């Protein structure tokens, strides 16, 4: 089991309830997309799974470690977090840092203290950082400062860092929001292929419905801090999607003009219409 949440809730100090009665499980190697309107609780859910936030209700485990009560602390928590890779929508990377250093930071939690400190002064694995950057087409930016990059390039540096880390559990929070549709599709395919090849678990929060349905076998809809549905991609209907995004108007958030799942849905509707006419 990669993680298990049972009745998990998250209420902030100001009284705002971000998550309520969340029960969700993932086996190792699963690939899951979280979808839902803005403010639904997707980022909060990833933060709880990633141990950045502790749940205020319920119980759960991540990579066989408890999230509350007997949750690991100190070195135990450091070792757990070294096995979890998080891609942020806006990567928390210092602007003055070199790209090579930002990528190598992916393994600071796995290296001994002396190596981590030494790598801050002189990069300890330049070939490894270059190989990770090549996978996101940024090898030419190896020694650039991060504040010289565009938002999309910085987002891809964050992805390269997690690819270099090779975590058991990969959490991606809107990982391609700053990329154009073609590059976003290619990047999501890179992440899913990497997770599948290594047997790692991938949980991605995505705003664009087409990216989720075209690339993930399991879709979890989140709305108002609760699980709205948890289904195989082929069972996610147009009606479910419109109910999930009702607060955002009639149009579903998509990246492509004609995403594959809509093409399939249109073909199915046309077939049904022809059958009814006959």
d(CA 13, CA 2): 29
CATH number at residue 33: 3.40.50.300
Orientation angle between helical segments 151-165 and 181-198, nearest 10 degrees = 10
Indicate if 173 and 218 belong to the same structural domain. Answer: yes
Decide if 207 contacts 172 (C-beta within 8 A).
Answer: no
Count structural domains, the chain.
2
Of 112, 137, 165, the position where a domain reaches its end is 165
Of 132, 165, 198, the position where a domain reaches its end is 165
pLDDT tens, per residue, the chain with 278 residues: 999 999 999 999 999 999 999 999 999 999 999 999 999 999 999 999 999 999 999 999 999 999 988 889 998 999 999 999 999 999 989 999 999 999 999 998 787 776 766 766 778 899 999 999 999 999 999 999 999 999 999 999 999 999 999 999 999 999 999 999 999 999 999 999 999 999 999 999 999 999 999 999 999 999 999 999 999 999 999 999 999 999 877 689 998 644 454 445 545 554 544 455 44
Res 273: pLDDT? 45
Q: Which residues pair with 25 in a beta bridge?
A: 4
Indicate if 152 and 189 belong to the same structural domain. Answer: no
Res 238: pLDDT? 93
Whole-structure pTM value: 0.88
Res 246: pLDDT? 92
Instruction: Find the farthest-apart pair of alpha carbons in the chain and give their distance in angstroms, rounded.
Output: 75
d(CA 179, CA 151): 8
Token duo for residue 50: 């990633």
């Amino acid at each position: 089991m990669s993680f298990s949440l049972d009745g998990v809730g998250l209420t902030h100090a100001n009284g705002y309830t971000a998550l309520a009665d969340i029960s969700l499980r993932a086996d190792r190697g699963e690939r899951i997309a979280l979808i839902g309107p803005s403010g639904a609780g997707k980022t909060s859910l990833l933060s709880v799974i990633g141990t950045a936030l502790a749940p205020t209700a319920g119980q759960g485990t991540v990579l066989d470690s408890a999230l509350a009560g007997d949750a690991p602390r100190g070195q135990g928590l450091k070792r757990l977090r070294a096995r979890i890779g998080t891609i942020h929508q806006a990567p928390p990377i210092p602007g003055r840092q070199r790209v090579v250093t930002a990528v190598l930071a992916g393994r600071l939690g796995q290296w001994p203290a002396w190596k981590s400190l030494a790598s801050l002064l002189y990069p300890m694995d330049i070939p490894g950082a270059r190989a990770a950057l090549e996978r996101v087409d940024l090898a030419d930016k190896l020694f650039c400062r991060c504040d010289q990059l565009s938002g999309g390039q910085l987002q891809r540096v964050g992805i390269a860092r997690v690819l270099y880390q090779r975590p058991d559990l990969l959490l991606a929070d809107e990982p391609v929001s700053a990329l154009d549709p073609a590059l976003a599709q290619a990047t999501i395919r890179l992440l899913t292929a990497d997770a599948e090849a290594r047997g790692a678990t991938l949980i991605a929060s995505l705003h664009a419905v087409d990216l989720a349905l075209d690339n993930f076998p399991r879709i979890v809809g989140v709305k108002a801090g609760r699980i709205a549905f948890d289904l195989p991609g082929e069972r996610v209907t147009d009606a479910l999607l419109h109910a999930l995004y009702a607060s955002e108007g009639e149009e579903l958030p998509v990246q492509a003009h004609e995403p594959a799942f809509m093409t399939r849905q249109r073909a199915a509707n046309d077939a049904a219409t022809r059958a009814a006419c006959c």
